[in-house]
C-alpha cells in the first residue's frame, strides 16, 4: 500500500445533528444521503449528537431528532440510544477525550493557548472593521514564550486553544463532487478549538470523533465547505488520514435562497403533524440533488409513463439506483407544490385500509381526538356541534377577515408587523400552557400590546374566528409546527391580498 492508496476501509458514514430546536428537513435530507451511501456499500450509518454548543442547546430536541428520522424511515446502527463500539455518541459525554487531543496539539506545536478577554477580542474586531479588514484573530498570542504563558496562567486568565494555521500557504482538499478546492490561509482564521469553558468547538470535536469513529466519508451540506480546510489541517496536525468529503447542494426556497423557516416550513414535525406521508417526504428528499436517473424518452413511451411518474420511487429503489456521481450542484428547490403533488400520489396509491390507517395515526388518532374533545367538552349543547367548534383543528388553513383579526385600536400595518414578533416569541417557547402564556405575556409587555389584543389576533389567525375554545389550550393541541406554519401562511396570504 502506498501513501496515495491507503488500505480501503469499510464504509462508515454519519450524520451529526446539533440539538438546537425542531428537527430540520435538512437533517433528513443529509441523513437519507448518508443512509443510501452506507447501504449501497454494505457499510454502517451512524448518528452522533453534536451538543457542545451549550448556548444553543435545546432540551428535548435530541429526542425529536430520533423520532423524526425514524418517522421518515431511516435507521442507524450506532448512536446515543442504540449504543455501539465507538460510543459515547453524544459529544457532551466526550469532553475528556477532546481535552486529551487538544493537549496533543499543544504539545506538538500545531495549536496554542490564547488569553485575550472577550473585551480585547471585541476591540480587535472593531479596529479591523474600522480599517475595512475582515474581522479575524490577529495572531497576537501565537508565539508566547513559556514564561508569558505561565504568567497569564498565574493571573488566572482563562485561555482558549487555537489552531496554528500555517502562514503564507494554502490547503487543498478534494471534494468528491466538485474536485479540488483550495483555501488560501490568509483567509483561514486561527480557529478556536477549545473554549475557555472546557468545551470543544465544533471543529475539534467533529474531527476527533470522525477519526475515532472510523468515518470514511463525510457527507454533509455545502455550507460546511469553508470549515473543511480547518478540518484537513487538523487531520494533518494529528497525523491522521482524512475521510473523503462530499458536500451536498443546499436545499433552497422557491426564490433560490438557502432554505429558511421564514419562507418554508423546515421542521420535520410540521410535515408529520400536517399529514404528509413519510414515504412521500423521503421520496421527495431523494429527488433533491438529482441522484436518481430520470426515465428516458424511450422508457416513458414504452412503459406508457407520465413524465412525472419518473419522480416516484421507494427507498428500496433509491438504494438500488441512487447515483452519487449524478448529483447536480445547482441548488435543489424544496418546492412545496411538488411535495404536495407527490404526497397526493402516495395517498391515491394507498389501499382504503392503509389510507384509513394513516388518518388514524395522525389527524384522527385517539390521542388527537381526545385532546380536541377535551377542549370543547363543556361548551356543547349537542354532540353535533363538535365539528363546528373544532373545524380549525382539522382544516389545512383558515383565513380570517380584517374585521376578525384587526384589534380596534391598531392599524393594519402595525398588526401585520406584530405577527412576526409573535412568531419569534412562540418559536422559542416550549409547547405547554405556561411557556406559551409567558412568551406571549412577555412580548405583550415589551411591545405594549395588551393581553386582549395579543390573544385576539392570534385567535383570529389560528381559528379564523373571534370566538373559539380556550386559545392557549387549543395551540397546545394543534401543535407548535402547525401553529407557526399557520401564522406564516397568514402573513403570506395578507401579502398577496395587499399586493
Sheet of 160-163, strand order: 111-114, 160-163, 192-194
Q: Which stretch binds ligand GLU (CB under 6 A): 16-24, 64-72, 392-400, 484-492?
A: 16-24
Q: Binding to ligand GLU by residue 220, rule CB under 6 A?
A: yes
Closest CB to ligand GLU among residues 214, 295 = 214
Rounded Cα distance between 232 and 240, Å, is 9
Count Cβ atoms below 10 Å from residue 176 Cβ, excluding itself.
Answer: 15
Rounded Cα distance between 81 and 58, Å, is 18
Q: Which stretch binds ligand GLU (CB under 6 A): 10-18, 60-68, 144-152, 487-495?
A: 10-18
Closest CB to ligand GLU among residues 65, 477 = 65
The minimum distance between CB 20 and ligand GLU, in angstroms, equals 8
Rounded Cα distance between 300 and 294, Å, is 10
Q: Which stretch binds ligand GLU (CB under 6 A): 13-21, 108-116, 250-258, 473-481?
A: 13-21
List binders of ligand GLU among 46-65 (CB under 6 A): 50
Q: Binding to ligand GLU by residue 44, rule CB under 6 A?
A: no
Residue 421: partners with Cβ closer than 8 Å, 6 or more residues away: 443, 447
Helix axes 366-376, 471-478, angle to 10 degrees: 170
Local structure of residue 341 (DSSP, 8 states): H
Distance of CA 254 to the CA centre of its chain: 18
Closest CB to ligand GLU among residues 236, 349 = 236
Closest CB to ligand GLU among residues 87, 310 = 87
261 is an active site residue: yes
Q: Which stretch binds ligand GLU (CB under 6 A): 14-22, 38-46, 434-442, 489-497?
A: 14-22
The minimum distance between CB 365 and ligand GLU, in angstroms, equals 31
Closest CB to ligand GLU among residues 113, 220 = 220
Question: Count of residues binding ligand GLU (CB under 6 A)?
Answer: 8
Q: Which stretch binds ligand GLU (CB under 6 A): 12-20, 120-128, 272-280, 477-485?
A: 12-20
Within a 13 Å sphere around the CA of 351, how many CA atoms are in the beta-carbon half? 3
The minimum distance between CB 234 and ligand GLU, in angstroms, equals 12
The minimum distance between CB 245 and ligand GLU, in angstroms, equals 10
Rounded Cα distance between 192 and 201, Å, is 7
Q: Which of 210, 239, 243, 238 is nearest to 111 (CA)?
A: 238
How does DSSP assign 44-59, residue by residue? EEEE-B----TTT--T
H-type alpha helices, 110-227 = 118-130, 146-154, 202-212
Q: Which of 369, 350, 403, 394 is nearest to 486 (CA)?
A: 394
The minimum distance between CB 303 and ligand GLU, in angstroms, equals 39
Q: Binding to ligand GLU by residue 206, rule CB under 6 A?
A: yes
Rounded Cα distance between 355 and 189, Å, is 54
Distance of CA 261 to the CA centre of its chain: 10
What value does the CA radius of gyration of the chain take, rounded to a whole number of Å? 26
Closest CB to ligand GLU among residues 261, 321 = 261
Q: Which of 12, 17, 286, 416 binds ligand GLU (CB under 6 A)?
A: 17
The minimum distance between CB 30 and ligand GLU, in angstroms, equals 7
Local structure of residue 183 (DSSP, 8 states): E
Count Cβ atoms below 10 Å from residue 183 Cβ, excluding itself.
Answer: 19
Q: Binding to ligand GLU by residue 272, rule CB under 6 A?
A: no
Rounded Cα distance between 292 and 324, Å, is 9
- Give the SS3 label for residue 162: strand
Query: Catalytic pick from 195, 258, 261, 447?
Result: 261
Q: What is the largest CA-CA distance in the chain?
A: 84
Rounded Cα distance between 120 and 264, Å, is 40
Q: Which of 30, 9, 23 is nearest to 76 (CA)?
A: 30
Closest CB to ligand GLU among residues 17, 479 = 17
The minimum distance between CB 28 and ligand GLU, in angstroms, equals 12
Q: Which stretch binds ligand GLU (CB under 6 A): 15-23, 123-131, 425-433, 439-447?
A: 15-23
The minimum distance between CB 91 and ligand GLU, in angstroms, equals 9
Q: Binding to ligand GLU by residue 91, rule CB under 6 A?
A: no
Q: Which of 16, 165, 339, 477 binds ligand GLU (CB under 6 A)?
A: 16
Closest CB to ligand GLU among residues 51, 453 = 51
Q: Binding to ligand GLU by residue 407, rule CB under 6 A?
A: no
Q: Which of 12, 13, 18, 483 binds ligand GLU (CB under 6 A)?
A: 18
Copy the grid coordinates of residue 33. 444521503
Closest CB to ligand GLU among residues 238, 455 = 238
Peptide bond just before 261 cis, omega within 30 deg:
no
Q: Binding to ligand GLU by residue 224, rule CB under 6 A?
A: yes
Q: Which residues bind ligand GLU (CB under 6 A)?
A: 16-18, 50, 202, 206, 220, 224
What is the set of active-site residues? 261
Amino acid at each position: 500500500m502506498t501513501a496515495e492508496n491507503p488500505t480501503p476501509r469499510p464504509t462508515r458514514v454519519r450524520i451529526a445533528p446539533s440539538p438546537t430546536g425542531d428537527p430540520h428537513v435538512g437533517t433528513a435530507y443529509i441523513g437519507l444521503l448518508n443512509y443510501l451511501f452506507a447501504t449501497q456499500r454494505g457499510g454502517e450509518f451512524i448518528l452522533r449528537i453534536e451538543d457542545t454548543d451549550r448556548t444553543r442547546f435545546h432540551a428535548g430536541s435530541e429526542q425529536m431528532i430520533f423520532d423524526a428520522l425514524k418517522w421518515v424511515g431511516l435507521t442507524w446502527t450506532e448512536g446515543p440510544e442504540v449504543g455501539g463500539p465507538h460510543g459515547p455518541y453524544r459529544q457532551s459525554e466526550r469532553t475528556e477525550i477532546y481535552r486529551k487531543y487538544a493537549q496533543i496539539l499543544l504539545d506538538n506545536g500545531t495549536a496554542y493557548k490564547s488569553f485575550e478577554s472577550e473585551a480585547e477580542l471585541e476591540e480587535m474586531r472593531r479596529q479591523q472593521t474600522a480599517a475595512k479588514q475582515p474581522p479575524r484573530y490577529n495572531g497576537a498570542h501565537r508565539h508566547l514564550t513559556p514564561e508569558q504563558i505561565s504568567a497569564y496562567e498565574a493571573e488566572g486568565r482563562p485561555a482558549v486553544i487555537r489552531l496554528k494555521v500555517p502562514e503564507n500557504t494554502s490547503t487543498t482538499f478534494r471534494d468528491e463532487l466538485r474536485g479540488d478546492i483550495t483555501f488560501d490561509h490568509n483567509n483561514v482564521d486561527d480557529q478556536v478549538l477549545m473554549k475557555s469553558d472546557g468545551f470543544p468547538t465544533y471543529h475539534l470535536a467533529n474531527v476527533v470523533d470522525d477519526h475515532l469513529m472510523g468515518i470514511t466519508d463525510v457527507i454533509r451540506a455545502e455550507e460546511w465547505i469553508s470549515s473543511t480546510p480547518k478540518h484537513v489541517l487538523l487531520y494533518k496536525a494529528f497525523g491522521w488520514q482524512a475521510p473523503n468529503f462530499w458536500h451536498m447542494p443546499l436545499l433552497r426556497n422557491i426564490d433560490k435562497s438557502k432554505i429558511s423557516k421564514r419562507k418554508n416550513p423546515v421542521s420535520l414535525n410540521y410535515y408529520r403533524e400536517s399529514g404528509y406521508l413519510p414515504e412521500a417526504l423521503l421520496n421527495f428528499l431523494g429527488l433533491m440533488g438529482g441522484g436518481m436517473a430520470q426515465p428516458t424518452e424511450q422508457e416513458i413511451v414504452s412503459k406508457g409513463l407520465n413524465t412525472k411518474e419518473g419522480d416516484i420511487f421507494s427507498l428500496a429503489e433509491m438504494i438500488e439506483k441512487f447515483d452519487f456521481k449524478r448529483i447536480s450542484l445547482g441548488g435543489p428547490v424544496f418546492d412545496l407544490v411538488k411535495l404536495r403533488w407527490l404526497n397526493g400520489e402516495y395517498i391515491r396509491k394507498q389501499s382504503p385500509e392503509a389510507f384509513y390507517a394513516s388518518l388514524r395515526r395522525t389527524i384522527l388518532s385517539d390521542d388527537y381526538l381526545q385532546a380536541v374533545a377535551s377542549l370543547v367538552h363543556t361548551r356543547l349543547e349537542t354532540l353535533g356541534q363538535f365539528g363546528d367548534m373544532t373545524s380549525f383543528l382539522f382544516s389545512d388553513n383558515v383565513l380570517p377577515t380584517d374585521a376578525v383579526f384587526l384589534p380596534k385600536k391598531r392599524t393594519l400595518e402595525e398588526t401585520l408587523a406584530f405577527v412576526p414578533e409573535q412568531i419569534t416569541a412562540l418559536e422559542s417557547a416550549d409547547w405547554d400552557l405556561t411557556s406559551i402564556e409567558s412568551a406571549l405575556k412577555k412580548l405583550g409587555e415589551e411591545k405594549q400590546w395588551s393581553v386582549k389584543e395579543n390573544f385576539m389576533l392570534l385567535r383570529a389567525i389560528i381559528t379564523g374566528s373571534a370566538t373559539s375554545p380556550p386559545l392557549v389550550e387549543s395551540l397546545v393541541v394543534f401543535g407548535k409546527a402547525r401553529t407557526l406554519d399557520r401564522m406564516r401562511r397568514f402573513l403570506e396570504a395578507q401579502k398577496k391580498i395587499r399586493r
